[in-house]
Amino acid sequence: MKKLIFVLLIIISISITSNIVLAEVKFGSWDKWDEELPPAENKYWYWALPGNEPRTLNLKGFGDSGSDVVLLFSEVYFYGTKDGKIKASVIFYTSSNVVDAKDWDIPNADLALVAFPPKKRKMTIRAYKMEGKVFKFFEEWEIPFKNRQVVVPKDVKFRQLFKEWLEKQVSLERPLPDSEELTDSTLPELTIWKKKYFQISDGTKLIWK
């Protein structure tokens, strides 16, 4: 009898925990953050920077026959309210072998990170990867809500996934000399201003040589 009560308590505890997690992933007009990203046609996507184009990182000479490889880092917001006062910061990763920067759209990207508004000085970060033309949820973690905070800790699976993605973009003829260093320098950091506004953005503006 005691064992039965103990098992029931465990089941109830798991059920309560699951409900809390599901409640936390709801944000704005989209309630499937624990499954996938909103589609590209959702009206609450907005560019985070003037110009409405991705940032670019040029890996000079790392393509086939010594050509350049250009990576696109697209920084956008997903508005949680119509006026945009509450929003999540999102960054998409794309190879320009797929599309030019001026023609970029969400379905062109391979990976994505989302930073949700902080609660109790903590931010939830969620990672997504493209599967069958839909960005599927991959992993979740928390970071301190602190200016210049590293967004992707070394112990999360997304870091290795991102490193492998970088390595796949370059030619087999000239692999990256230090993919770990490039991973560290290109993954985003958190920027905070006026104590409440925030954005995650790529960690480098350098041309890789």
Q: How far apart are alpha carbons 78 and 44 in whole angstroms? A: 5
- Position 189 scores a pLDDT of 95
The arithmetic mean of pLDDT across residues 104-115, rounded, is: 97
Q: Phi/psi of residue 105, each to 5°?
A: -150, 165
Residues 28 and 78 sit within 8 Å (Cβ to Cβ): yes
User: Residue 69 falls within a domain, yes or no?
Assistant: yes
**Domain count across the chain:** 1
**206, part of any domain:** no
Cα–Cα distance, 121 to 193 (Å, whole number) = 14
- The answer to whether 166 and 178 are in contact (CB under 8 A) is no
Contact predicate 118/144, CB 8 Å: no
pLDDT for the residue 49: 87
The structure tokens listed for 190 are 């958190």
Residue 2 domain flag: no
Assigned domain for 11 exists: no
Q: Is residue 153 part of a domain?
A: yes
Question: Does residue 99 sit within a domain?
Answer: yes
pLDDT at 65: 87
Residue 93's closest CA among 147, 163, 11, 31? 163
Arithmetic mean of pLDDT over the chain = 86
149: in domain: yes
Please say if the pLDDT value at position 14 is more than 60. Answer: no
- pLDDT tens, position by position, 28-74: 999 999 999 999 999 999 999 888 999 999 999 999 888 999 999 99
17 has pLDDT over 50:
no
Note down the domain range covering 38. Answer: 28-201
Q: Does the pLDDT value for residue 9 go beyond 70?
A: no
| Beta bridge partners of residue 125, listed in sequence order | 115, 141
Kindly report, residue by residue over 121-176, the tens digit of the pLDDT: 999 999 999 999 999 999 999 999 999 999 999 999 999 999 999 999 999 888 88
Residue 157: which H helix or E strand, with range?
Answer: helix 157-169
User: What CA–CA distance (Å, rounded) separates 43 from 31?
Assistant: 15
**Exposed / middle / buried, residue 207 (Cβ in 10 Å: 0-12, 13-18, 19+):** exposed
Six-digit token string for 92: 């998409």
pTM of the model: 0.85
**Residue 13 domain-assigned (yes or no):** no
